[in-house]
Amino acid sequence: MSAVWIGDEVAPPGRDLKIERETHKLEKRLCREVGRAIVDYNMIGEGDRVMVCLSGGKDSYGLLDILLKMQARAPVRFELIAVNLDQKQPGFPEHVLPQYLKALGVPFHIENQDTYSIVKDKIPEGKTMCSLCSRLRRGILYRVADELGATRIALGHHRDDILQTFFLNMFFGGKLKGMPPKLVSDDGRHIVIRPLAYVAERDLVRWAEHRKFPIIPCTLCGSQENLQRKQVAAMLREWEKKHPGRVQNMAHALQNVVASHLMDAAHYDFRGLQATGVPCEDGDRAFDGETFPEASPVALQAIWIE
């Protein structure tokens, strides 16, 4: 086999095959993790119309891309419609998403609302814009979901986003709270799902590079460098660098809560606790070592994750 040219370098024979194999493994892992999340939390059912919120970032592109693959193999029939909220940010290339979605053959809707001006007017320079921007977006997307007849609203938050939110709430809000993979919306009228809940951000970065998504930078929250979320993200990256596997362990911990060994009396009856003479599985053991929850038998058998 002759050498293959890559840019200005000569690639050794077999390099293309290695890249192809790695990419295939990455695709299988992404589909498996998304399928597992869908099954574990019953995110999508027969006849659902899923509104995929597309921002122009790597995560939402990846979400749509993977859901399209899942749609072809899923044991249930469901529809997808991509929705982008054009917030009228200066310089926003409004042609990019319609052009991409038309080429993909995906039904889509572009909602035009000037939330950019509202956020810039209400939030003083240097202050965090995320909270107001997020509230405005949610209200608009809920309305659009009603208009489109969507039964599910799919967001592109991944495993690392969920962990960052958990630490933000713990460090700055005094709560053990993250982003749930599935929830009822603020207005009580919609089911919101996060099919990327098990997916590592690094895999989405690699997939975006492979698929060459036309990424659109955010000039609101994406332009703010000193956000607490970015600081927490840097902390998690440093932990993972020094202690590989730690982030995955923490993600497992969010699925393996032991209320009797925390301190929230609203979730465990400490006041009414009595000795029963029956051995307790957890007892007074504070540290268990590595014990991860197993996938459910349903998840292992489902076509979603084959």
Residue 14 has pLDDT above 60, yes or no: yes
pLDDT tens digit string along 235-292? 999 999 999 999 999 999 999 999 999 999 999 999 999 888 888 766 666 556 655 5
Residue 287 lies in a domain: no
Judging by DSSP bridges, how do beta strands 191-193 and 79-86 pair with one another?
unpaired
Nearest alpha-carbon partner for 103 in 245, 212, 261, 243: 212
CATH number at residue 169: 3.40.50.620
Is the residue at 273 inside a domain? no
Reading the block at residue 71, the tokens are 């749609």
pLDDT in tens, 124-180: 665 566 666 677 888 899 999 999 999 999 999 999 999 999 999 999 999 999 999
Domain count, the chain: 1
Is 220 within the bounds of a domain? Answer: yes
Q: Are 162 and 194 in contact (CB under 8 A)?
A: yes
Per-residue pLDDT reduced to its tens digit, 214-223 = 999 876 555 4
Record the pTM: 0.83
Q: Which domain holds residue 45?
A: 17-261
Domain for residue 8, yes or no?
Answer: no
pLDDT on residue 230: 86
CA distance 48 to 76: 9
